[in-house]
Amino acid sequence: MASYKVRILPSAYVDLKEARSWYGQHNSTLPKQFAHNVKLSIKQIREMPFVHAVRYAGVRIANVPVFPYAIHYFTEDNFVVVIAIHHTALSPEKWRERI
């Protein structure tokens, strides 16, 4: 099976930027490590989008290794659409507004 194409919503890019900024305030190497792990997770999602269970409204959640973040996404035709990259301790209402 071919890999899906990935579309990352602007709001998910903002999530990534905010997380990297937060990690950068605490350690100079963490932003790069975080971004690398997110990139690896998105690559895995692209290759196997249905490995994660549907959690709500057709949205699946993949955890980012090492970091307490999760990638929220759904599939549409041959696309994986990333709607959020959120800290797992945040209120679900924050990312549910995006669907």
Stated pTM of the model: 0.89
Domain ranges of the chain: 5-87
Fill in the DSSP letter of residue 37. H
Q: What backbone phi and psi angles, to 5 degrees, belong to 64?
A: -85, 125
- Which pair of tokens denotes residue 17? 């930027």
- pLDDT band of residue 3 (cuts 50, 70, 90) is confident
pLDDT tens per residue, range 28-42: 999 999 999 999 999
- pLDDT band of residue 20 (cuts 50, 70, 90) is very high
CATH no. for 5-87? 3.30.2310.20
Q: What percent of the chain has pLDDT over 90?
A: 84
Place of tokens 């990297």: 20
Identify whether the C-beta of residue 9 lies closer than 8 Å to the C-beta of residue 97.
no
